[in-house]
Structure 1
Amino acid sequence: MNLSHVFACGHPALDFAATLRARRSTRFEMFVTPERLNAWYVESGLVDAITPGDEEGLQAAKVVREALYRLITDRRLGEEFEREALAVVNGAARGTPVTPQLTVTGRFTEATPEQALATVARQAVELLSGPDVPLMKECGNPECTRVYVDRSRGMRRHWCGMASCGNKYKAAAYRARKKSASAVAGG
């Protein structure tokens, strides 16, 4: 599996929660080092530059991510929020957020990993208390555990993204149809 961060979920908090991939099977951790976590913050567009992180900050981000995933799952399934997960995400959201600055060349956002994490937690609070809750779906690929916001016409989207899960299933279905058509023709 590659180490590129993927932003297919339609919301930064959902993309953050999806950095532990394939939760029901092989579990693939994207945040293996503080540098990979910081790369996510930059690649997501949350910040333009970030100060170096450390192992303690990495572990704190993973704790928030897991609590966030629990809350996303609770909300998606219409269940009451788990109290401990709620306390973790709210605690992170109380931190100092990222503050963009205006420069002579435009907007520039530099932050610490703690500020970036607080901002992700605040985005999660907005998502989980906002109008997009009914649009949250889990990917139709049984191996994928990404939750995404389905803004498709008629809410008919089945995959977190066509480039990742959707194409795999469409290609497999096509091969199965071709195989059964050739079996019928030959048999």
Structure 2
Amino acid sequence: MNLDHVFVCGHPALDFAATLRARRSTRFEMFVTPERLNAWYLESGLVDTITPAEESDVREATAVREAVYHLVTDRRLGEEFAPEALELLNSAARRTPVTPQLTPEGRLTEATPAQALATVARQAVELLSGPDIPLLKECGNPECTRVYVDRSRGMRRQWCGMESCGNKYKAAAYRARKKPASAAASR
């Protein structure tokens, strides 16, 4: 699996939660180093520059990420929020967020990993208390556990992303349908 961060969920907090992939099977962790955590903050567009993260930042970010994932799942399934996850998210959201600055060249957002995490936590609070709750769906690929905002016409979207899951799943289904037909033809 590649190490490029993917942003297909339609909301930064959902993309953050999706940095642990394939939760029901192989589980692939994207935040394996402080550098990978910082890369996510940069690639997401949340910050322009960030101070180097430490292992403690990774541990805190993964804990908040898991809280976000569980809260999103609870909300999507219409269940009560897990109190521990709620407290963890709210604690992170209470911290100082990223603050953009205006420079002669334009907007510049410099941050620490803690500020970036506080900003993601605040985005999760907004998502989980906002109007997009009915639009939250889990990817139709059984191996994928990404949750995305389905803004498609008629809410017909099935995949977190066609490139990441849809094409792979459709190709596998096509091969599975063709296999019995080719076996029958060779008899």
| Structure 2 residue 84 is matched with structure 1 residue 78 | no
% identity of equivalent residues: 81
What is the Cα deviation at residue 180 of structure 1?
4.1
Structure 1 CA distance, aligned partners of 2:144 and 2:96? Answer: 33
What is the Cα deviation at residue 177 of structure 1?
3.3
What is the Cα deviation at residue 161 of structure 1?
0.7
Structure 1 CA distance, aligned partners of 2:173 and 2:63? Answer: 38
- Which deviates further from its counterpart, 175-184 or 153-162? 175-184
Structure 2 CA distance, aligned partners of 1:176 and 1:142? Answer: 16
What is the Cα deviation at residue 178 of structure 1?
3.1
**Alignment gaps of 5+ in structure 2:** none
SS at match of 1:6: coil
SS at match of 1:59: helix
Partner AA of 1:138 in structure 2: E
Question: 1:15 maps to which residue?
Answer: 15
Give the paired residue count.
187
Structure 2 CA distance, aligned partners of 1:132 and 1:172? Answer: 31
SS at match of 1:8: coil
Question: 1:139 maps to which residue?
Answer: 139
- Which deviates further from its counterpart, 164-173 or 123-132? 164-173
Per-residue displacement from partner, 1:99-120 (whole Å, max 9, x unpaired)?
1111111111110000000000
Matches within 5 A, 1:47-86: 47-86=47-86
**Alignment gaps of 5+ in structure 1:** none
Question: 2:96 maps to which residue?
Answer: 96
Partner AA of 1:154 in structure 2: G
| Structure 2 residue 107 is matched with structure 1 residue 107 | yes
The TM-score normalised by the length of structure 2 is: 0.96
Per-residue displacement from partner, 1:120-139 (whole Å, max 9, x unpaired)?
00000000000111000111
What is the Cα deviation at residue 141 of structure 1?
1.0
Query: Which structure 1 residue ranges, 4+ long, deviate > 6 Å from structure 2?
Result: none
Question: 1:31 maps to which residue?
Answer: 31
Matches within 5 A, 1:151-162: 151-162=151-162
Structure 2 CA distance, aligned partners of 1:78 and 1:12? Answer: 22
